[in-house]
């Protein structure tokens, strides 16, 4: 979500509540904070603010594996922010094993106007533990700026494992560009769109509608259009439904 919420408390280790397990036959983006499909955003989870996400994708008459994610902010500083996260995709499909179940992600940077007029993030996603099976290890960088009455525009670039990120013809396609747009919020609604270039398993673009049904929760839905047949086969479009919930890891005391 592009909405910043305040959080302050003494440091404490999070219980990684809900370590949802098991990986899928298809790779989804196991990422830090995202816009819709990509992590092309300079939003950070605030310090010790937890975030649980559920992403589902439907193609034709079947569903792909669901992405269950957990993210938390880990730095208490105003200028520099950082977050780390874990994703699991299920149900598991053969020949995947439990070793393939876990993906880690993280990023560091700053919000807009903290150090510079633009926000910046540098991170990694789809960091798996099975060599040349799930270790996509996609590094990326992004710059973003919010314009009054227009919204937030963000651009970035990515590069990952050239053994896994290949095009539909089997050639290396491990680097590319990203871009995103998030509109101003109108009432309880907000629109967004993002794009990840290339012809690899992660390449796609999408657009969605946020509905904020609580201060700390939203539902995001819309179409995703893969740019490679590796992800969704012959399907030219998938429909995604994403639920996001933020919470204080340690309850804040009333003032």
pLDDT value at 92 more than 70:
no
Predicted pLDDT at 14: 31
What are the tens digits of pLDDT across the range 199-213?
Answer: 999 999 999 999 999
Spatial distance between the Cα atoms of 5 and 246, rounded to a whole number of angstroms: 9
H-helix or E-strand containing 247? strand 238-248
pTM of the model: 0.85
Tokens of 170: 């089997």
Nearest to 123 by CA among 144, 108, 143, 134: 108
Tell me what the pLDDT averaged over the chain comes to. 85
Tell me the Ramachandran region of residue 222: left when phi exceeds 0, alpha when psi lies from -120 to 50, beta otherwise.
Answer: left
Q: What HEC string does 123-184 produce? A: EEEEEECCCCCCEEEEEEEEEEEEECCCEEEEEEEEECCCCCCECCCCCECCEEEEEEEECC
Q: What is the pLDDT of residue 125?
A: 95
Sorted by where each starts, the structural domains of the chain and their CATH numbers stand as 49-248 (2.40.160.40)
User: Average pLDDT for residues 140-163, to the nearest whole number?
Assistant: 97
| Percent with pLDDT over 70 in the chain | 82
Phi, psi of 80 (to 5 degrees): -110, 130
Percentage of the chain exceeding pLDDT 90: 69
**Residue 11: how many CB atoms within 10 A of its CB?**
11
**Range of lowest pLDDT (58-62, 105-109, 120-124, 181-185):** 58-62
Which of 3-7, 57-61, 115-119 is least confident? 3-7
What's the pLDDT at 22?
28
Higher local confidence (pLDDT), 92 or 81: 81
Cβ–Cβ < 8 Å for 69, 87: yes
Residue 90 contacts residue 20 (beta carbons within 8 Å): yes
Q: What is the mean pLDDT of residues 60-64?
A: 72
- Is the separation of the CB atoms in 156 and 177 below 8 Å? yes
Nearest CA-CA partner of 34 in 226, 242, 250: 242
Strand bridging mode 135-147 / 151-159: antiparallel
Interatomic CA distance for residues 135 and 126, integer angstroms: 7
DSSP H or E segment with residue 72: strand 66-73
Average pLDDT, integer, range 155-167:
97
Contact 50, 70 (CB under 8 A): yes
């Amino acid at each position: 979500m592009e909405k910043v919420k305040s959080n302050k408390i003494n440091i404490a280790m999070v219980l990684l509540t809900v370590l949802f397990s098991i990986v899928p036959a298809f790779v989804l983006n196991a990422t830090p904070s995202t816009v819709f499909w990509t992590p092309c955003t300079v939003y950070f989870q605030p310090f010790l603010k937890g975030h649980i996400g559920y992403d589902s994708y439907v193609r034709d008459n079947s569903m792909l594996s669901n992405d269950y994610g957990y993210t938390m902010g880990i730095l208490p500083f105003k200028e520099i922010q950082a977050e780390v996260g874990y994703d699991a995709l299920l149900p598991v499909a053969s020949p995947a094993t439990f070793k393939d179940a876990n993906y880690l992600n993280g990023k560091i940077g700053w919000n807009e106007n903290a150090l510079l007029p633009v926000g910046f993030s540098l991170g990694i996603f789809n960091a798996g533990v099975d060599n040349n099976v799930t270790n996509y290890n996609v590094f990326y960088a992004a710059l973003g700026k919010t314009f009054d009455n227009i919204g937030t525009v963000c651009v970035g670039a990515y590069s990952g494992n050239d053994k896994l990120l290949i095009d539909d013809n089997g050639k290396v396609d491990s680097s590319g560009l990203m871009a995103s747009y998030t509109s101003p919020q109108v009432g309880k609604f907000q629109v967004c769109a993002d794009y990840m270039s290339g012809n690899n398993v992660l390449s796609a673009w999408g657009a969605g509608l946020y509905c904020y049904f609580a201060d700390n929760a939203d539902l995001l839905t819309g179409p995703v259009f893969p740019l490679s047949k590796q992800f969704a086969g012959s399907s030219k479009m998938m429909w995604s439904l994403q639920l996001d919930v933020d919470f204080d890891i340690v309850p804040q005391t009333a003032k």
